[in-house]
A = this chain, B = another copy of it.
């Protein structure tokens, strides 16, 4: 694809200046319109070394209102980046609705060095474009000869010579090999929802004009679709048959219990082990994510407390998840969770999770059916990425029955220092028990993957539940650490 392109195209329009003047005004207008309509825009710049990415980005942003865009230079990875799952550094920088974020180098570096597969890249991009993002990808091409010429010019100039490294010269020598690789990269990731635009960058005037025309075209298109209320037609998973769905929760044995004596003993042993394992995972730099979901009053808090009691607070964080704030709402729904994923050696314990998308958001109608149906695959992909990056991911569903919940609600209301824990919302949710049951069933079936299966905890007995959770955590940490040794 790239190989067939004539990189030497020139700006031969007689009305070049007029075109550019018009484009500049248009860009400002389109930016305001996108802001108004809440369309997030991501523009990726990749290309050959010295193809002029910096210059092009600078020219492109001049007509934009600085309140609405941001440029990210992603070539260098910092320690914080390297201590997180690979996509973390990109995900947290994704634009909120109405903003334009420009990436100089992007996740395609990860495709280049094998940390991502083409399939992962396509799915990564799809979740955003499905969510309404305009994703524009530019590849800037120059010839081998031109690249050499530019490197020499940079090298000669005292103020820029430090920028030219041996690696750059090597890349020039290996130009043909790089051409092959880039070509393949483009072919593999040129999708209808996020196509590549190749920019012939020998002539700077031609290049900037093509870039701005492309951006303007994409935005006009997106604005038109949004104003018409058109929804992208996307893949929606068929609902499972009722047979397949029912029974996941029905089969849970809620009679399991534990004597207080035995509980105390086992807790002591498990907490000691946990403390030791937590030190080891810190030392070996394993990131751990514990995700707690469950019925209201299902005992999430109590189980979490039994874990944190014995471990060093400098190595864990409890992340309580409530309804998203305004900034979070303006982003892709997974953004706020990516923000909190732990760096290696640390543990993040989520009290409620990204599964809110297919539970409360589904039931309360905060997400459309298309949105929550899409979420199963998006979540599976995300969790697979976390696990493949070396994280331990454990998901718990704290399961109680309706009677037990009623009893616990009553207790909370009768204990003065616990009254604040029970709200009208809890009672309203309770009325939707059957709906939730169906949603939980489907969630467990659809998102129990080999990378991150669900653990359903029989939680009518708090004592039993806490011990089970700790056992599972201890077991998983031991296994993960064994793999490293």
Give the residues in chain B near A325, CB-CB below 8 Å: 326-327
Contact at A71–B317, with CB atoms within 8 Å? yes
Copies of this chain, complex-wide, total 2
Task: Contacts A29-B417, A417-B29 given; indicate if A104 touches B314 (C-beta within 8 A).
Answer: yes
**Which of A55-63, A211-219, A365-373 contacts the other chain?**
A55-63
How far apart are the CA atoms of A420 and B67 in the complex, in Å?
14
Contact at B320–A67, with CB atoms within 8 Å? yes
**A147-165 near B? 1/0 per residue, CB < 8 Å:** 0000000000001101100
How far apart are the CA atoms of A67 and B301 in the complex, in Å?
11
Q: Determine which residue in A71, A280, A325 has the highest number of CB atoms from chain B within 10 A of its CB, and name it.
A: A71
Contact at A314–B159, with CB atoms within 8 Å? no
Kindly provide the distance from the CB of A299 to the nearest chain B CB, expressed in whole angstroms: 15
Q: Determine which residue in A159, A162, A320 has the highest number of CB atoms from chain B within 10 A of its CB, and name it.
A: A159
Query: In this complex, what residue of B is CB-closest to A310?
Result: B58
Task: Contacts A78-B79, A305-B62 given; indicate if A54 touches B313 (C-beta within 8 A).
Answer: yes
Task: Contacts A80-B78, A160-B279, A162-B283 given; indicate if A66 touches B320 (C-beta within 8 A).
Answer: yes
**A60-91 near B? 1/0 per residue, CB < 8 Å:** 01100111001101000011100000000000
How far apart are the CA atoms of A309 and B73 in the complex, in Å?
18
A312 within 8 A of B: yes
Task: Contacts A104-B314, A327-B325 given; indicate if A351 touches B66 (C-beta within 8 A).
Answer: yes
Contact at B417–A28, with CB atoms within 8 Å? yes
Contact at B314–A71, with CB atoms within 8 Å? yes
Contact at B280–A58, with CB atoms within 8 Å? no
Kindly provide the distance from the CB of A484 to the nearest chain B CB, expressed in whole angstroms: 14
Task: Contacts A57-B313, A313-B57 given; indicate if A159 touches B276 (C-beta within 8 A).
Answer: yes
How far apart are the CA atoms of A318 and B320 in the complex, in Å?
34
Contact at A32–B420, with CB atoms within 8 Å? yes
Q: Scan residues 24-54 of chain A and give those whose CB is less than 8 A from a CB of chain B.
A: 25, 28-29, 32, 54
Give the residues in chain B near A320, CB-CB below 8 Å: 65-67
A311 within 8 A of B: yes
Contact at A54–B318, with CB atoms within 8 Å? no
A230 within 8 A of B: no
Contact at B308–A62, with CB atoms within 8 Å? yes
Contact at A309–B62, with CB atoms within 8 Å? yes
Q: Could you give 17 example pairs across A and B, Cβ below 8 Å? A: A28-B417, A54-B312, A57-B313, A58-B308, A62-B305, A62-B308, A70-B317, A71-B313, A71-B314, A71-B317, A78-B79, A80-B80, A159-B275, A159-B279, A160-B279, A162-B283, A326-B326
Interface on A for B, CB 8 Å cutoff?
Answer: 25, 28-29, 32, 54, 57-58, 61-62, 65-67, 70-71, 73, 78-80, 104, 159-160, 162-163, 275-276, 279-280, 283, 304-305, 308-309, 311-314, 317-320, 322, 325-327, 351, 417, 420
